[in-house]
A and B are shown apart, each in its own frame.
Chain A
């Protein structure tokens, strides 16, 4: 499983766009990039997954450059309820074990 590196924490204000970048230099050809969100005292929740270019859903967008050695989770117009820890994980679709890195603790202020 490829190792990932993310900023430990980020601060933002309500209404701003937040971009969290994850580095995964050793990503393999079959690996996908997946992001999870975790609120305090809750289990993680799947946000988005992608392989290359751009993926968008109702919650976020995921930007993946051509070399796939990094990815950026973009949260449009964050609100206070987006305060959480965001984890970037890398692995192939067949993999089952999830190895969580340190995650990025996002704090959204009024």
Chain B
């Protein structure tokens, strides 16, 4: 299946700094990528939909000025957590759909996740 990578896998930063997380589709082009956040022992929560060449669409309650999303190419989306605080510490996961012609099902491919710890 298609492969989605994330970088970095882990990051520790001081409170008030900004952190950028990259999400890449390695063997396919993705016009749309998704960003999720997952706290310990909880389910994934969709944060935003990243659209190549246009603005991201944020879910209700997600601050777009705090979580900046850029989807500059068909294989790369970035999530920047600005002025990070300890409560932003979480597991951030991206996903992308491989829109193969004739595909009859909606399989999304997820990245391995990025563990963010804000001190």
Contact = CB atoms under 8 A, between A and B. Distances in A.
Interface of A: 32, 34, 38, 41-46, 49, 87, 91-103
Chain B interface mostly helix, strand, loop or mixed?
A: strand
Nearest to A94: B106
Interface in B86-103: 91, 93-95, 97
Interface residues of B, number: 26
A44 B32 contact: no
B49 A43 contact: no
Chain A interface mostly helix, strand, loop or mixed?
A: loop
Nearest to A87: B43
A21 B112 CA distance: 27
A101 B43 contact: yes
Given A41-B113, A45-B110, A100 B105 contact: no
Nearest to B43: A100
Contacts of A87: 43-44
